[in-house]
Structure 1
Amino acid sequence: MKSLISVENKIIVISGATGVLGESMTRSLAEAGAHVVILGRSKDKVDALVSSIKQHGHEATGVVADVTNKEALMLVKEEIAEHLGYIDVLINAAGGNMAGALIMPNQTLADADLEQMRKVIDLNYIGTFLPTQIFLPLLEKSVKASVVNISSVAAHLPLTRVMGYASAKSAIENLTQFLAVEFAQKQENPVRVNALAPGFFLTEQNRDLLTNKDGSLTERGEKIIAHTPLGKFGNPEDLNGAIHWLCSDAASFVTGTVVTVDGGFKVFAGV
């Protein structure tokens, strides 16, 4: 089983790799022997993460692009093709939220900002669709390739406030299922497509919603913990087991699936 779930020598592209959750996934995969290709918008952040991973004796390559920019991604594809030839796994971890796509308790639908809603949809949904479309020829050169998209429990249980983000993540799950069937029916060696749906993890985008300046929980944070049977927020490394499995040959018959890692939040009725 250890060899079956291995990611050793797999070439894995991770968008959003410099974020809190993305960096944890990236470091874990590199430590397990994968060659990680770090895709991000900030060259400084990408270079710093590549350098850190290499200093620990692991394989890493950095590429810079906005996941919503087709021309930039095409250049990255050519760069990867030239230096590595193919990829085994694409992890679409880029995503996020914006204040104008939220509806706070003192606001109504009229307060939602159209342009920020569009940006949230673009970043999360188009930022998942476009890398998959553009890197697909590189994935098809691998015998056992897969795509892992990052969804959210907000796609399953639409949460208050995060309207734009929840809508985009719901669309990502639909895309995941559509592409799983599409690739299975049209490719000789189908590229598997699955999604990972994290529950509540403290990241830069939600820290202020869940915790106060002194580290105590906000009212929203308290509600979430009360609705999570395991009674805590997740740590970034809690996602790594599921990521390793979905990337590995142990999941070779798994496609179109959403793996939820949420401490039981989604299944708890509250009583």
Structure 2
Amino acid sequence: METTFKNKVVIVTGGSSGIGRATALAFAKKGAKVAIVDWIESNETVNGIKDLGGEAIFIKCDVSKTADVKAMVEKTIAAFDRLDYAYNNAGIEGKSAPTHECTEENWDETIGINLKGIWLCMKYEIPEILKQGKGTIVNCASVAGLVGFAGLPAYVASKHGVIGLTKTAALECAKLGIRVNVVCPGVIQTPMIDRLTGKTKEAIEQFTGLEPVGRFGQPEEIANAVVWMCSDEASFVTGHAMAVDGGFVAQ
């Protein structure tokens, strides 16, 4: 175990799988105490951290619901007495359909989790991080927040919104000691991409073809970027949208 984040506390939403799980483990390996948050109850990530000799708790939460998010932060403070960092990663891809066929239900659910959820998390995280005098929040958008992606209008809109929301919060918090950044992953090997491709050879080739390096990214590659953005090595970085991909070429 390293000690870069010793005695520090981080919230990781969407922490039960994929990028969230990899990031929670990466923080734990550097000494952080981790609150793993997800709407699907699972102790796999918590157990993985405890196997490393770290400290972690699981909190069930729907980030689109105010009461859940408020309770998430309260439970973190009750367990660890402080909050220093947050990786607001929870999100869904929604249902694939052209803009004119996107249902209102799909739009509301996708925007509610992906965009409103990040706003709610920051709303309750920021006051607690302020009590420590400094800290960092990293939100998760997507390269789909930087370019268009046919067939996923709600997802693309939500991720563009996350980038704008992050830049706004960064301006508000810069002189208060809190840095706020956003990571924009490319096509990463996660359960989400498995759902989008259906694990079919044709779809996998289509998605990997979007990456000039010719492969999916790995969750750990995003986790490393998030941990760096929270470290003192990134002390002058705020309001930044970091694309972590192999040179995404979608237009």
- Taking structure 2 as the reference length, what is the TM-score of the superposition? 0.92
Asked whether the 8 Å contact 1:50–1:60 carries over to 2, the reply is yes
Shift in CA distance, 265/110, structure 1 to aligned 2, threshold 3 Å: closer
Whether 1:69 and 2:69 are equivalent positions in the alignment is no
Match of 2:6 in 1: 8
The equivalences for 1:34-49 within 5 A come to: 34-43=32-41, 45=42, 47-49=43-45
Shift in CA distance, 250/143, structure 1 to aligned 2, threshold 3 Å: farther
Structure 2: gaps (5+ residues): none
**DSSP-derived class of the 2:222 partner:** helix
Asked whether the 8 Å contact 2:18–2:219 carries over to 1, the reply is yes
Whether 1:138 and 2:138 are equivalent positions in the alignment is no
**DSSP-derived class of the 1:233 partner:** coil
Asked whether the 8 Å contact 1:195–1:257 carries over to 2, the reply is yes
Whether 1:20 and 2:10 are equivalent positions in the alignment is no
Match of 2:218 in 1: 235
Match of 1:96 in 2: 92
CA RMSD of aligned residues (A): 2.0
Which of residues 258, 265, 270 in structure 1 aligns to 2:241?
Answer: 258
Match of 1:115 in 2: 105
Letter in 2 for 1:202: Q
Shift in CA distance, 172/109, structure 1 to aligned 2, threshold 3 Å: closer
Which structure has the greater CA radius of gyration? Answer: 1
Deviations 1:204-252 (A, max 9, x none): 2232433544xx242xx43433342211110111112211111111111
Give the whole-Å Cα distance in 1 for the aligned partners of 2:82 and 2:20. Answer: 21
Match of 1:168 in 2: 158
Asked whether the 8 Å contact 1:22–1:93 carries over to 2, the reply is yes
Shift in CA distance, 217/9, structure 1 to aligned 2, threshold 3 Å: farther
Asked whether the 8 Å contact 1:211–1:217 carries over to 2, the reply is no
**Bigger mean CA offset, 224-233 vs 57-66:** 224-233
The equivalences for 1:197-236 within 5 A come to: 197-210=184-197, 212-213=199-200, 216-218=201-203, 221-236=204-219
Give the whole-Å Cα distance in 2 for the aligned partners of 1:256 and 1:183. Answer: 10
Structure 1 runs (4+) deviating above 4 angstroms are none
Asked whether the 8 Å contact 1:144–1:252 carries over to 2, the reply is no
CA apart distance, 1:33: 1.2
- Taking structure 1 as the reference length, what is the TM-score of the superposition? 0.85
Whether 1:58 and 2:54 are equivalent positions in the alignment is yes
Whether 1:124 and 2:120 are equivalent positions in the alignment is no
Give the whole-Å Cα distance in 1 for the aligned partners of 2:149 and 2:173. Answer: 32
Aligned length: 250
CA apart distance, 1:60: 0.9
**DSSP-derived class of the 2:191 partner:** coil
Letter in 1 for 2:193: N
Asked whether the 8 Å contact 1:7–1:244 carries over to 2, the reply is no
Whether 1:177 and 2:177 are equivalent positions in the alignment is no
CA apart distance, 1:195: 0.5
CA apart distance, 1:79: 2.4
